[in-house]
A = this chain, B = another copy of it.
Amino acid sequence: MPRVSDMKKRLTDAALDLMWENSYGTTSVDAICERAGAKKGSFYYFFKSKSELTVAALEAEWNKNKANMDALFSPTVPPLERFDRYFDHVQLQEACGSILGCPMLSIGSEVSTQDPGVRATVERIWDRKIKYFESAIRDAHAQGLIEAPDPEAKARALFACYHGTLAQARIENDVGLLRDFKQVAMDVLGVKHVQAASS
């Protein structure tokens, strides 16, 4: 066995996988250990509880995705195009498996009244994501592309719609909703209709 173990990562990966496949509440420590190839003792060597592990797993997942978000929402990209690229990216990821947004949403709605630590983490990560939306909206407003006197509120509203669509798409196992979301986003942002006509 190596001096520095990869078990911590294996545990957080396993946890996120299982919570995505099932749910936070129904994912047991035993199951996480089994999938990670760990024994109980190892789990509690690294983490004090399932809650603490979840926090670590979510933060790790965020860090993995941050660079990508930075690129997609780069100020060098025209503001409305940032959303375009982002929702394209989401749709692509969603088509073939898990992504940060979705396990976070299901975990979020599940623990919102239960686990304060996990809840705070989810909110913290969401706030960071909303920041990307917000600055893109502010830029779009400044360029006169949209009318958004309150970028923060607009960002939050769009984020909520986006998450709802993500959740619905998952529950009904229908990517169509996600495919159409780009247009919905433009509507919510208040962009003048560009009829993506059939020819």
Contacts and interface: CB of A to CB of B under 8 A. Distances in A.
A167 B109 contact: yes
B123 A171 contact: yes
Counting chain B CB atoms within 10 Å of each CB, the highest count among A26, A113, A160, A170 belongs to A160
Contacts of A111: 23
A99 to B, nearest CB: 15
A145 interface: no
Interface residues of A, number: 45
Given A123-B172, A153-B180, A187-B190, A25 B110 contact: yes
Interface of A: 21-26, 105-106, 108-114, 119, 122-123, 147, 153, 156-157, 159-172, 176-177, 180-181, 184, 187-188, 190, 193
Q: Can you tell how many copies of this chain the complex includes?
A: 2
Given A163-B167, A168-B159, A171-B109, A22 B114 contact: yes
A187 B111 CA distance: 31
Contact of A180 (B21, B157, B165, B169): B157
Contacts of A21: 113
Nearest to A109: B106
Give the dominant DSSP class at A's interface: helix
Nearest to A163: B164
Contact of A168 (B160, B168, B177): B160
A143 B180 CA distance: 24
A105 B164 CA distance: 9
